[in-house]
Amino acid sequence: MEKRDFDAVVVGSGPNGLSAAIALQEQGLSVLLVESKDTIGGGLRTKELTLPGFLHDVCSAIHPLAAESPYFKTLPLAQHGLEYIYPPVAAAHPFDGGTAAALLHSLPETALHLGKDRKAYEQLMTALVKDWPNLAPTVLGPLQFPKNPLAMAKFGIKAMSPATTLANLVFTTKKARGLWAGMAAHSIQPLSNMTTSAIGLVLLAQAHLHGWPLPKGGSQSIANALAAHFVSLGGKIETNYHVTSLKQLPSSHAVLLDVTPRQLLEIAGHSFSAIYQWQLKKYRYGMGVFKIDWALDGPVPFTAPECRQAGTVHLGNTLEEIALSEKLTSQGQYPEKPFALMAQQSVFDPSRAPQGKHTAWAYCHVPNGSTKDMTQAIENQIERFAPGFKDLILARHAFNTHQMEAYNPNYIGGDINGGIIDVGQLFTRPALRASPYRTSAKGIYLCSSSTPPGGGVHGMCGYYAADRALRDIFQLKAKVLR
């Protein structure tokens, strides 16, 4: 093989770029990882956004998929300082009137609190929780023949259903339907769309298997641990290295890009076939997010005790209210009561704020590219279930979709999933090809959340892209997942 500066170059140091770099380096290759910002991490960054001493997760905050990622589990990340904290309640869902549904580690205890829907919940989740460890590498990867076809078929039938359809078939109580809607709304699309049940099922299963943890010290801790492991293997990282063309990169046999189709076209479009360029241009992005971080004078005073013990709180009341909110947003409108996702990390990790003070983090979905200020709408939703919240605000920091994209170019129009994951793009991210990670140009690969399995901090897009490059270019294979 012709001598090059490096065997492989990875562009972008989000969780997928880091995973790709590690998977390549593990096979004895020489790998360079370049990052345009002054710190590595992509969506895994933690900063003092409001006041000194208040550490805020700039993008992602709670990490059920990271803690149990089939690839991350093969890496000695704890040896590099990564420690997860598990709140006693994975997620809480308050309702008007002061009650709440709670997602607990115990499946039977969660079901017990759902009253008449106890048996329905157990029937929905028991088999999936049992099967998930074997299903995870298949579900969190490209289209492939499953190791357990029967279990995969059972999951697939439920996962392909619209969330509203599944709720109407399975649940009758306000608590169960609301809890389910909050989970499914992580799909960032109308709950009447096919496949919106998939993420809800996965998140529920993760809670019952392992919980929804937050990394001690902030999400940056995950990126730091991944980077430290990569460097320990002999990998090289360069920051402040902004790539607009492949010509800026040192010579290598393979280039893997942790970017979305829009940036891929800008960086390497001239290298691609006309049909592949056309496919990338047709790629669709989904709803964006408006996000706020707060420095607080005390913990959020939720009325429902379950919410005060939860790392994540879904603010949306009933299934009907959440479904309407997501539908209106997808149509370019702004609901008066938007569904909001909230995290309260400092309740469980005192290192996030000065003694006696707290941080909180929340976002709602908005039309892609929106510049509308949703601060009041989100804070009203919190105040609705936690009277007195507004009085605790010491400072706030907000991001609209343009600011989110400026901070992380992969968030096109504020889309944090790297493109909508609806039925039209579930199996064709980012284009219809034998391998979604290959581009039409030899030696150029895509390893971002715009490939299967999509958004989330799990590193699986990077792992599978690296495996493809290893097989194609170096006649090697990535580490086998356990």
Has residue 431 got a pLDDT over 90?
A: yes
- State the Cα angle at 17 between 11 and 22, rounded to 5°: 115
Has residue 281 got a pLDDT over 90?
A: yes
pLDDT at 2: 82
Please state, rounded to an integer, the average pLDDT across all residues of the chain: 97
pLDDT at 136: 93
| 416-to-343, 375, 376, 408, 412 alpha-carbon distances in Å | 16, 19, 22, 9, 8
Encoded amino acid at 308, one letter: R
pLDDT at 145: 87
- State the Cα angle at 31 between 28 and 35, rounded to 5°: 150
DSSP one-letter string for 362-422: EEEEE-TT-----HHHHHHHHHHHSTTTGGGEEEEEEE-HHHHHHH-TTSGGG-TTSS--S
Query: Whole-structure pTM over 0.95, yes or no?
Result: yes
| Domain positions in the chain | 6-36+241-285+418-474, 85-214+287-407
User: Which of the four CATH numbers 3.30.70, 3.90.660, 1.25.40, 1.10.10 does domain 85-214+287-407 have?
Assistant: 3.90.660
Q: What is the mean pLDDT of residues 249-277?
A: 98
Has residue 3 got a pLDDT over 90?
A: no
Q: What is the mean pLDDT of residues 27-47?
A: 97
Bond into 453 cis (ω within 30): yes
Length of the chain: 482
Encoded amino acid at 198, one letter: A
Which fold, 6-36+241-285+418-474?
FAD/NAD(P)-binding domain (3.50.50)
CA atoms of 210 and 68, how far apart (whole Å) = 8
What distance lies between CA 190 and its chain's CA centroid?
18
Has residue 426 got a pLDDT over 90?
A: no
pLDDT digits (tens, 9 = 90+) for 196-245: 999 999 999 999 999 999 999 999 999 999 999 999 999 999 999 999 99
